[in-house]
Amino acid sequence: MHTKYDVVVVGAGPAGSIAARTAAERGLKTLLLEKRQEIGSPVRCAEAISHETLIRYIEPEAAWISATVHGGRIFSPNGTPVVIQQPNVGYVLERKLFDRRLAETAVNAGAEVLVKARVTGVINTDDQICGVTVRYHRRDHAIQADIVIAADGVESQVARWAGINSTHELRDVDICAQYLMSNLDPDVYSPEYCDFYIGRELAPRGYVWVFPKGPDLANVGVGIGGTISGRNGKLAIDYLNDFVRTHFPEGRVLSQVAGCVPVGDSLPEIVGNGLMIVGDAAHHSDPISGGGIANAMISGHFAAETAADAIAAGDLSAEFLRPYPERWDEEIGKNFRHICRIRDGVMKFSDKTFDRCAQVLNKLSPEKITMREIFKTVLLHQPRLLLELRHLIAPGWI
């Protein structure tokens, strides 16, 4: 380990590895620090990603793909399935191997990686972040950097150390519990589809997912709204157990994870002097699905490109780093605000309304059912919401 780098990236998840790879590809001396002893482990993810976003950053490899997905099935509260058929639309990954592979591509591009290296603080001189302190091999080290990229996930501390309030409002997070399960009832489980179950009883302010990992293996999980957790003494794990009892009574649990996903708007401030915040640390996961792998890679990539421009220009100020948030907002962030409003409206639906929407959608042939068609149907069942979202009509959202 050297004591001075152009870029230090904190956290070797998808955001951090892509940021480190991009910075190294741009010729920057780059260090990627990961607190865990093994990159990608333990996995706290349902591991689904679309083909379209994955291939922006890496070609699919059999070693880290558990299953190819050919569409989705959304089950309304009374069990009516709405089937969206999209051959080869995405994958369920083996995240542990995927994350390691991404870090390997960063190393191949020239980045240095240290595991079991826990960042413990930032070096802040005259309101300029110029490095980090790290605990490594039972010793504390100070590492200087022109730019620090905070890719330290949903529980991010780096932003806070730098004086940016990155706290999540409880209403803007989903609390999740998930089992990896085998012995699944073939009448309920399909290895072809990602299944989503919605309903106020089943998963208030969230949904249940069953994502295929093999012919008889799946991630079965539930996310519930942060404000719901603990209400009536019920936690996410209790909702998950209820679902498993009714849908997979013979299923066997092979592992269990719990976690939290940001489902609100992006963090308003994602750059500071010498600092950039990416991925879950910047609240960049999708406000409806909670999916964040793709967005983490995209923001890591955008941030590192701007970092390279700033270092080349010798200007590390927050002002000079603004192209990163602007690019994020232009491509993805601006849609978050619309998505949040749609979500808040949909969350008010009764189970009966969801059932009626499913009935209407099922009158279409499966190839005609698209996400846009679903949005339209849902909105037509809530005319007040449609009025509120009329500005989405012109850009073609609805």
Ligand X SMILES: Cc1cc2nc3c(=O)[nH]c(=O)nc-3n(C[C@H](O)[C@H](O)[C@H](O)COP(=O)(O)OP(=O)(O)OC[C@H]3O[C@@H](n4cnc5c(N)ncnc54)[C@H](O)[C@@H]3O)c2cc1C
User: What HEC string does 88-151 produce?
Assistant: EEEEEECHHHHHHHHHHHHHHCCCEEECCEEEEEEEEECCEEEEEEEEECCEEEEEEEEEEEEC
Residue 310 binds to ligand X (criterion: CB under 6 A): no
Closer to ligand X at the Cβ: 159 or 378? 159
At closest approach, how far in Å is the CB of 126 from ligand X?
24
At closest approach, how far in Å is the CB of 260 from ligand X?
6
* # binding residues, ligand X (CB under 6 A): 39
* Span interacting with ligand X, options 57-65, 105-113, 149-157, 305-313, rule CB under 6 A: 149-157
Contact with ligand X (CB under 6 A): which of 28, 103, 130, 151?
A: 151
Closest by Cα among 119, 113, 163, 116 to 143 = 119
Which residues are within 8 A (CB) of 369 and not within 5 positions of it... i.e. 6 or more apart? 82, 83, 84, 85, 361
* Span interacting with ligand X, options 148-156, 321-329, 344-352, 359-367, rule CB under 6 A: 148-156
d(CA 293, CA 101): 14
Read off the amino acid at residue 170. L
Residue 285 binds to ligand X (criterion: CB under 6 A): yes
Residue window 239-258: x/- pattern of binding to ligand X, with contact defined by CB under 6 A: ------------------x-
Closer to ligand X at the Cβ: 77 or 291? 291
d(CA 169, CA 149): 23
Binding to ligand X (CB under 6 A) within 104-123 occurs at 118-119
At closest approach, how far in Å is the CB of 243 from ligand X?
14
d(CA 395, CA 376): 14
Binding to ligand X (CB under 6 A) within 11-50 occurs at 11-16, 33-36, 44-49
Closer to ligand X at the Cβ: 153 or 272? 153
Neighbours of 225 (CB within 10 A): 20
Contact with ligand X (CB under 6 A): which of 7, 8, 9, 10?
A: 10
Closer to ligand X at the Cβ: 301 or 379? 301
* Span interacting with ligand X, options 60-68, 226-234, 279-287, 305-313, rule CB under 6 A: 279-287
At closest approach, how far in Å is the CB of 117 from ligand X?
6
Please, what is the Cα angle at 58 between 222 and 131, to 5 degrees?
85
Residue 259 binds to ligand X (criterion: CB under 6 A): yes
Cα–Cα separations (whole angstroms), residue 185 to 1, 218, 254, 352 = 51, 11, 16, 27
Read off the amino acid at residue 119. V
CB 313 within 8 A of CB 258: no
At closest approach, how far in Å is the CB of 393 from ligand X?
29
| Sign of the CA dihedral running 94, 96, 99, 103 | negative
**CA contacts within 13 A on the Cβ side of 30:** 32
Binding to ligand X (CB under 6 A) within 174-213 occurs at 176, 178
Closer to ligand X at the Cβ: 110 or 121? 121
Cα–Cα separations (whole angstroms), residue 238 to 137, 178, 189, 204, 245 = 40, 11, 21, 12, 11
Residue 305 binds to ligand X (criterion: CB under 6 A): no
Residue 152 binds to ligand X (criterion: CB under 6 A): yes
Residue 71 binds to ligand X (criterion: CB under 6 A): no
Residue 293 binds to ligand X (criterion: CB under 6 A): yes
Q: Given the rule CB under 6 A, which residues bind ligand X? A: 10-16, 33-36, 44-49, 118-119, 151-153, 157, 176, 178, 221, 257, 259, 261, 279-281, 285, 290-294, 296
